[in-house]
Amino acid sequence: MRCSRTRAGLTGMMVSVAVLAACDRPIGPRERFLDPALVAQGKEIFRFDTFGDEKFWTDTLRMHEVIQQSVTPAVALSVGLKVDADALPAEVKAALAAGQVDLNSTATTLALLRLNAVLGVKGEVQTLGGRDTLVRVGITCALCHSTVDNSFAPGIGSRQDGWANTTLNPGAIVALSPALTPAQKAVYNSWGPGLYDPRFNFDGLSTPLVLPPAYGLLGVDKETFTAEGPVSYWNAYVAVTQMHGQGNFSDPRLGVEIIQTPDLVTPKLAALREYQLSLRKPPPPPGSFDVAAATRGEALFEGEAGCASCHAGSLLTDVNAGILHAPSETGMDPRYAARTTQKAYRTTPLRGLWQHPPYFHDGSAATLGEVVEHYNRVRALGLTEQQKRDLVEYLKSL
Give per-residue burial for 352-369: e unless 16+ CB within 10 Å, then b. bbbbbbbbbbbbebeebe
* CB burial of residue 31 (10 Å; 0-12, 13-18, 19+): exposed
Compare residues 152 and 351 and give the one whose CB is closer to ligand HEC.
351
Tell me how far, at minimum, the Cβ of 378 lies from ligand HEC, in Å. 10
Cα of first residue to Cα of last residue in the chain, in angstroms, is 17
Compare residues 34 and 153 and give the one whose CB is closer to ligand HEC.
34
Tell me how far, at minimum, the Cβ of 300 lies from ligand HEC, in Å. 8
Tell me how far, at minimum, the Cβ of 44 lies from ligand HEC, in Å. 12
Compare residues 126 and 328 and give the one whose CB is closer to ligand HEC.
328
Residues 178 and 89: beta-carbon distance below 8 Å:
no
Compare residues 137 and 350 and give the one whose CB is closer to ligand HEC.
350
Residue 44 makes CB contacts below 8 A (sequence gap 6+) with none
Closest CA to 365 of 336, 337, 332, 328: 332
Tell me how far, at minimum, the Cβ of 61 lies from ligand HEC, in Å. 13
Tell me how far, at minimum, the Cβ of 276 lies from ligand HEC, in Å. 5
* CB burial of residue 95 (10 Å; 0-12, 13-18, 19+): middle
Tell me how far, at minimum, the Cβ of 205 lies from ligand HEC, in Å. 14
Tell me how far, at minimum, the Cβ of 92 lies from ligand HEC, in Å. 27
Tell me how far, at minimum, the Cβ of 93 lies from ligand HEC, in Å. 28
| CA 123/CA 114 separation, integer angstroms | 7
Tell me how far, at minimum, the Cβ of 174 lies from ligand HEC, in Å. 9
| CA 314/CA 5 separation, integer angstroms | 8
Compare residues 64 and 222 and give the one whose CB is closer to ligand HEC.
222
| CA 259/CA 257 separation, integer angstroms | 7
Compare residues 92 and 298 and give the one whose CB is closer to ligand HEC.
298
Compare residues 155 and 352 and give the one whose CB is closer to ligand HEC.
352
Compare residues 113 and 209 and give the one whose CB is closer to ligand HEC.
209
Point out which residues bind ligand HEC (CB under 6 A).
46, 139, 141, 143-145, 170, 196, 198, 209, 211-212, 214, 217, 223-226, 231, 234-235, 238-239, 242-243, 272, 276, 301, 305-307, 309-311, 325, 329-330, 332, 345, 347-348, 350, 353, 359-361, 371-372, 375, 391, 395
Compare residues 306 and 313 and give the one whose CB is closer to ligand HEC.
306
Residue 48 makes CB contacts below 8 A (sequence gap 6+) with 116, 122, 140, 142
* CB burial of residue 118 (10 Å; 0-12, 13-18, 19+): buried
Tell me how far, at minimum, the Cβ of 350 lies from ligand HEC, in Å. 6
Residues 169 and 191: beta-carbon distance below 8 Å:
yes
Closest CA to 202 of 92, 340, 26: 340
Compare residues 11 and 376 and give the one whose CB is closer to ligand HEC.
376
Count of other CB atoms within 10 angstroms of residue 297: 26
Closest CA to 28 of 167, 218, 166: 218
| CA 270/CA 42 separation, integer angstroms | 8
